[in-house]
Chain A
Amino acid sequence: MIKFILIVSVVCASMSAHASFEERSRRYLSGHELLMTIQSLLPAYQSYENTECHSLVELNRNFLGDSQALTGEPISVGPNQNFVQWLNQCVSKSLEHMGLLDIVDGFMFNEKTDNLIGPEGIAYLQSKKNNPTSSVLAIPGVFVDRLVVEDPLFIEKLVEHQVKFFLGSDETIRDFGLIQDPKAYRAELVKNILSKKDLNFKQAIIRLTVQMMLRDEFLSY
């Protein structure tokens, strides 16, 4: 079971409600907005396979904070365990279908790849080119099964980029108030990933992306 760092204020039954999850001191993105945001950030995959990751359906409406038409109140007041499992599943499926890391000989880069890996991470991968005869456009390389422990520097760049991309600059993170020392937080993340000796690059990207998307700094405002 992957452990996630989910910092959420203590949830209590809220007597008032609007669109999204609602807890006393913060507002969360609504169910529709979460779907929009996730889709704008992650590579798309076949929608007929994954309706619950693209749309508000009966299966996911409850824990995505959608409100009941009868009362206008959200069904869940904040992200819960079902939400965590749903997000993990959808992010994993999306990244597995990305086509990027499944291609043995090489992979394609696009805007969404940039979102996840970042320009420095991409530059680092480019420097690891080891298949100059690849017929695939863009940068060749074999990283499907490459273990994270073989390239800790890539993991550092990945963490640095994702924290900045999903949570904001250090000043913004401190402003939010939940993380007082962003540098220490990043170091802890890197240490956590590298401690998993059998984790490969793809798994590391998935794990980190899910962790970032579960932060209140990302989900709420």
Chain B
Amino acid sequence: MRILFFSLISLFVMTAMGVEPAQLETSAIKLSKALRGIPLSVKERQELAQAIQAGQGEQQYQKFIQAFLQTDQFRYKLKVKVDELVRVRTEINQNPEQRDYDNYQDNGLYLGAYDYVVRDVISQNQSWDQLLLAHEYRFQKHAVPRGDTYHDQSFFSVASGISQSDGTMEDLQNLQSYEWTFKENQVKFEESDERIAGILTTPRFMHRYVNTALNKSRRRASAVFRIFLCDSMMAAIPPTDAASEKSDFDMIFPHNGTETEQQIKERFADPHGTQADCMSCHYKLDPMGQVFGFSSAGLAPSPTPGALRYKSLSQGKVDIAVNGVRGLAKTITQQQDYVRCQVNHFWNWYVGKDFPKSEKRTLELMSKFDEVGRKPKDFIAYLVTSSEFRSKPQILNENQILARRAGSILKNCFDCHRNQNRNDEIRDWDLTEFPYKGDLQQRQGQIEMLVNELDLTGDGSKKTMPPKSSVWKLSDDQHQILKRWVEQGAPDYDGKPQVNP
């Protein structure tokens, strides 16, 4: 009843704001595709039509939400999204006659601990934090995964003492229980076991982000930053002042493409990872990587200390010592940046990136996420009842499309420059947030800076940004897009020029 009330209120507000609500049938079709990945069936359409005729259309929409959230298709679709976030391939039975979203028995398909953790969080509507905090695992035994070498049984048996051959259990510290079933194994660890942390301590994750002598688990740390804190790990320029800006750039990109790797190695006596120009990423990666310092062949016999360290735009410096992967996972779930990041994932999945949201709206969503106990189904039910989801499909005009494309290109710039926003003397400028702040003259100045740095009046050959040694390069296509964007007056997401064209 409360959801119905709020959905009616939001429809009223949308109309008052000029955002056109879509027809109920349009919303229901979108709901079905967004939650289940398939259109409404004939029967469902008939139900909806009858409900609308009886004046019960909104109630039917709410019924659809609750019904769709319980389907296998919903669970599968959300799992695919999580798999893509973690960047693992979703396992699915390729034989459509045996395809069964619930049961993968006897088909050679391997469901491991990672898969079960994610599936259980979704289907049982557990807190989203369980992706990091789960301490009970299930996995299928003896099946050989396609194309991969991970094997859950041996991974957990190394530290748990479980025999791989006969299933007998030896008691070991912190191991609660082990049940042997023909099809599925179950391993439970104590909640206080600091070695265990949801999907992070599953063979799937470990093998996806392999530890080597060179990367020292920084690859795993980088993945954790990207997935759970939305940190893309682009080289971040530290806060600075105008006088030392150029030297800071030289520090971050010292050779600017003019030296070979061998020359750089000879020039620096210290090993990689301690130089100032490397520290912009390593100060974050190294302390986190330490907690992952164990082989992917088996669970760590004991937890390793490390730290969660990074610069938060909202909280300032974060530097918290942790013990073991679980300590790290718990600390991450306590950060507001984590909440913001997960909320952004859900927003992008269900409402869409093409629907920009304000900071105020983001804070509302974060509050709602906590209010529903971080449970995915409850939060998704809220999102698909929101005015943004229920609005008419946007057919963008040329300037609106241009603005979105320019914004996505400028995000690469912002990933490096974001830390400069910490220093108000320099600028408080999110290159991707349109319209830019300030009056017309100030905005004109900002656009002119972009034009000069990127050589948007020329062919791009004289551009100074991004630096030559930057990982990201501005392509010719991107250069043309930004050029056109400026020529149109640097339109914002509504298509309105920010400056004179």
B15 at the interface (CB under 8 A from A): no
Q: Which residues of A contact B411 (CB under 8 A)?
A: 15
Interface residue stretch chosen among A133-141, A166-174, A186-194, A203-211: A166-174
- Say yes or no for A110: interface residue by CB 8 A criterion: no
Q: Are A168 and B38 neighbours in the complex by a CB distance under 8 Å?
A: no
Q: CA of A16 to CA of B230 in the docked complex: distance in angstroms?
A: 13
Known A13-B477, A221-B30: A169·B25 in contact at CB below 8 Å: yes
Contacts of A30 in B (CB 8 A): 37, 77, 80
In the complex where A25-B401, A175-B26 touch, is A39 in contact with B96 (Cβ < 8 A)? yes
By the criterion CB–CB under 8 Å, are B401 and A10 in contact?
yes
Cβ-based interface call for B404 (8 A): yes
B351: nearest chain-A partner, CB-CB: A27
The answer for the CA separation of A44 and B97 in the assembled complex, in Å, is 10
Q: Would you list which residues of chain A between 156 and 196 have a CB under 8 Å from chain B?
A: 165-166, 168-169, 171-172, 175-178
Is A36 a contact of B87 with CB atoms below 8 Å?
no
Asked if B405 is at the interface (CB within 8 A of a chain A CB), the reply is yes
User: Is B352 on the interface with A (CB-CB < 8 A)?
Assistant: yes
Contact status of A26 and B38, CB under 8 A, knowing A18-B81, A172-B25: no
Query: Quick one: CB contact mask for B7-43 with A, threshold 8 Å, 1 for yes?
Result: 0000000000000001101100110011001110010
Cα distance A91–B352 when bound, in Å? 30
Complex interface bits, B308-352 against A, C-beta within 8 A gives 1, otherwise 0: 000000000000000000000000000000000000000011001
Q: Is A72 in contact with B42, judged by CB distance below 8 angstroms? A: no
Q: How far is the CB of A54 from chain B (nearest CB, A)?
A: 4
Asked if B349 and A18 make an inter-chain contact with CB atoms under 8 angstroms apart, the answer reads: yes
Residues of A within 8 A of B80 (CB): 19, 30, 32
Choice from B23, B33, B88 contacting A175 with Cβ under 8 Å: B23
Report which residue of B23, B77, B409, B477 has the largest number of chain A beta carbons within 10 angstroms of its beta carbon.
B23
Which A48-75 residues have a C-beta within 8 angstroms of B?
A: 51, 54-57, 67, 69-72
Q: In the bound complex, how far is the Cα of B428 from the Cα of A22, in angstroms?
A: 31
User: Does B408 sit within 8 A of A, measured CB to CB?
Assistant: yes
> Is A47 located at the chain interface by the 8 A CB criterion?
yes
Tell yes or no: B84 within 8 A of A by CB: yes
A57 contacts B94, C-beta separation under 8 Å: yes
A166: nearest residue on chain B (CB-CB)? B39
In the complex, the chain A residue whose C-beta lies closest to that of B355 is A25
- What chain A residues lie within 8 Å of B81 (beta carbons)? 18-19
Residues of chain B within 8 A (CB-CB) of A178 are 395
Q: Which residues of B contact A111 (CB under 8 A)?
A: 42
Contact present for A37 and B401 (CB under 8 Å): no
Instruction: Determine whether the beta carbon of A36 is less than 8 Å from that of B395.
Output: no
- CB contact between A12 and one of B90, B94, B393, B405 (< 8 Å): that residue: B405
Tell me if A168 and B26 are in contact (CB < 8 A): yes
Is the CB of B92 closer than 8 A to any CB of chain A? Answer: yes
A101 within 8 A of B: no
In the bound complex, residues from chain A placing their C-beta under 8 Å from that of B76 are 32
Does any Cβ of B come within 8 Å of A33's Cβ? yes
Are A37 and B39 in contact, CB atoms less than 8 angstroms apart? yes
| Partner pick for A33 among B26, B77, B394, B481, CB 8 A cutoff | B77
B462 within 8 A of A: no
Within 8 Å CB of A33, what residues of B? 33, 37-38, 77
Question: Across the interface, which residues of B come within 8 angstroms of A27, CB to CB?
Answer: 352
Q: B26, B30, B84, B92: which has the most chain A beta carbons within 10 Å?
A: B84
Question: In chain B between 376 and 403, which residues have their CB closer than 8 angstroms to a CB of chain A?
Answer: 392-396, 400-401
CA distance A27 to B22 in the complex (A): 17
Q: A24-B401, A32-B80 are in contact. Are A115 and B396 (CB under 8 A)?
A: no
Alpha-carbon gap, A16 to B411, bound state (A): 10
- Give CA–CA (A171, B87) in the complex, Å: 39
A-B contact pairs, 19 of them (CB 8 A): A14-B408, A15-B408, A15-B411, A24-B404, A25-B401, A30-B37, A30-B80, A36-B73, A37-B39, A40-B38, A55-B92, A55-B95, A69-B87, A169-B23, A171-B23, A171-B25, A175-B26, A175-B393, A221-B29
10 extra interface residue pairs, beta carbon distance < 8 Å, beyond A9-B401, A175-B22: A15-B411, A27-B352, A30-B80, A37-B37, A40-B38, A47-B97, A70-B87, A166-B39, A168-B26, A218-B39
A-B residue pairs, 7 tightest by C-beta: A33-B37, A15-B408, A221-B33, A177-B395, A175-B26, A55-B94, A54-B96
